[in-house]
Structure 1
């Protein structure tokens, strides 16, 4: 496997763009090469199979959606509680909204995994690892709620993002207000 991390990132970004704009069926090594503006065969050098390409795209999605270390450090210095938990959730929604192609690509892969068991085998461990990391982070940060509450927020954020990225049920809905309402209803009083 090639080791140029910058080139891998460019190829991963090209795969994300293809998924977001053309869907999973448009994701081929050649299409990634064309989208990235690199010589044909480059994506195959970095990702030997479609599964490897998809795994590389998952890696890149994680990099692009990760919170900044500065923001995490600032929040870590604050007292844990419902308001801080809501702030983390609002930040997740802001990052997902700001990286709308990344979010669309992730939704596309999730939908395609329902049709393709081989993709589900790649996606499921990635999703579950992210969920487990969120549960561990929540506990380590002393934030309210446990495993069930973190799962409920995953479900709520996925639904909110699907709504924001498609045809909203309520176009006037303020996502921050929705998040505050979710936190108030899902997390017990302090």
Structure 2
């Protein structure tokens, strides 16, 4: 197996683009090689099989969607209230909108995980870790609400993101920003 980390990351990024555009059935070594602009057979030198490649995608998507630490530190200077909660949710929406392929690839992985036990196990582990990180961040930051609030916001944002990225007209006349404001304003105070 080849061990060039930059090449491996580029191949995973190419796999994300292929998944977003063609779905899991279109994800082949050849398609990834073509997307990455590398010689045929390169992807097979880095990943033992499709499952190996698929399980590498979700952590990479989460890595790509992680907010800039300096920008986050600046945002977190604000008072811990619904306005800050809305700003954080908008930041998530903006990052995902800017990396549409990443989130669409993640949706494809979720569907594919219903058919592939190993992928389901790996994706569940990744998503659980992400949710735990979000809960820990929320609680440590003293944001409004409790652990259940974070789970409810996560589920609401997941639905909003799916609509926004796939059928945005289905939300009319509601806007993503309006929905985010409503979600944040309904988060209970920290001590409620």
Query: TM-score, normalization: structure 1?
Result: 0.92
Q: Aligned equivalents of 1:182 and 1:77: distance in 2? A: 21
The SS at the match of 1:39 is coil
Partner deviation per Cα, 1:26-75 (whole Å, 9 max, x = no partner): 11222211211111221122222323212322232122111011211102
Name the Cα RMSD after superposition: 1.6
Query: TM-score, normalization: structure 2?
Result: 0.91
| Corresponding residue of 1:74 | 74
Q: Are residues 1:179 and 2:180 paired?
A: yes
Alignment of 1:1-190 (within 5 A): 1-168=1-168, 169-185=170-186, 187-189=187-189
63-72 or 73-82: bigger deviation: 73-82
The SS at the match of 1:2 is coil
Assess if the C-alpha contact under 8 Å between 2:18 and 2:27 holds in 1.
yes
Partner deviation per Cα, 1:113-134 (whole Å, 9 max, x = no partner): 1232232111100000000000
Instruction: Kindly tell me the number of residue pairs found equivalent between the two proteins.
Output: 189
Runs of 4+ in 1 over 6 A off after TM superposition: none
Q: Which runs of 5+ in 1 are unaligned?
A: none
Assess if the C-alpha contact under 8 Å between 1:47 and 1:56 holds in 2.
no
After TM superposition, give the deviation of residue 142 of structure 1 in Å.
1.2
After TM superposition, give the deviation of residue 15 of structure 1 in Å.
0.4
After TM superposition, give the deviation of residue 14 of structure 1 in Å.
0.8
Q: Aligned equivalents of 1:70 and 1:31: distance in 2? A: 36
Q: Aligned equivalents of 1:44 and 1:58: distance in 2? A: 19
Q: Aligned equivalents of 1:146 and 1:28: distance in 2? A: 43
After TM superposition, give the deviation of residue 172 of structure 1 in Å.
3.8
Q: Which runs of 5+ in 2 are unaligned?
A: none
After TM superposition, give the deviation of residue 189 of structure 1 in Å.
4.5
